[in-house]
Amino acid sequence: MKSVKEVAIETKILSRLKNNPVCLELVNYLFADEELQEMQEYANNVSIKRLGYNDHGPVHMRQVVSNSIKMLNLLHEANIPTSLEKEEIGTFEDSMCAVILAGMMHDLGMTIGRQGHEDMSVIFAKPMIERTLMHIFPDDLHRRVIIRALAIEAIIGHMSSKKIHSIEAGILLIADGCDMTKGRARIPLAINTTPKVGDIHKYSANAINRIGIHRGERKPIRIDIEMSGDVGFFQIEEVLLTKIDSSPAKQYVELYAGVTGQESKCYL
């Protein structure tokens, strides 16, 4: 059974896609996919219980989808074309489908382990991407090919360890980095009390109170981060900024962060 948090994020995603019937059909198909749900839940089990890491399961993957949709829509509203649009090989709808697929599957490799999990994610995701696209676009081989390739680029590039080139993959990369609030670290902090290497990620994430994504003043996308303590700057500077710096969408992003009650620092 899905958690309350999963259902809440799904509702938000459906609302953001209310004017896009094709993408609505896509997410509803994915939300109902029992194999995908089982893999997301097992990935979370491995991440939290076996590795002592933070959330990499169904809630996280849905949150990344939600972030990606919001960012792509902000680019669209600012008349910034996606890579498929600019190259005149696909539509904004195709780009949206690709980031949704990537967001829902980018951490499936955590079912194996942390190291190289983006490569493992591609192996697990590819057959699910193909069967999903065959359901949505049964008579359109062109769309199936470009969306599949773009989704795989986004999955394999979400750790910023591999060079990516599309705006779509760059948006997924940033959207993934933006899911770092205290809720994502709550369970690992509760069940893993023995200190070990890597704990800074949990404690820094636990200091992040809120992340806002909205229209910027100087650029199409503005990311605002509010923290309860200075330890949160580690998460921003070592995780999120690394992802943004590697993203082809970096030029479209403003980034502000600060401790509650203090003036925010402008990073970008």
User: How many separate helices (H) and strands (E) can be counted in the chain?
Assistant: 13, 4
Identify whether the C-beta of residue 219 lies closer than 8 Å to the C-beta of residue 72. no
The pair of structure tokens assigned to 33 is 């996919």
DSSP 207: T
Taking only the tens of pLDDT, the chain with its 268 residues reads: 899 999 999 999 999 999 999 999 999 999 999 999 999 999 999 999 999 888 899 999 999 999 999 999 999 999 999 999 999 999 999 999 999 999 999 999 999 999 999 999 999 999 999 999 999 999 999 999 999 999 999 999 999 999 999 999 999 999 999 998 875 554 454 555 555 555 556 667 788 999 999 999 999 999 999 999 998 898 899 889 999 999 999 999 999 999 999 999 999 9
Q: How far is CA 61 from the centre of its chain?
A: 6
DSSP 3-state of 230:
coil
Q: Is the dihedral angle over the CA atoms 139, 172, 117, 114 positive or is it negative? A: negative
Q: Where are the domains of the chain?
A: 4-177, 182-266
Predicted model pTM: 0.92
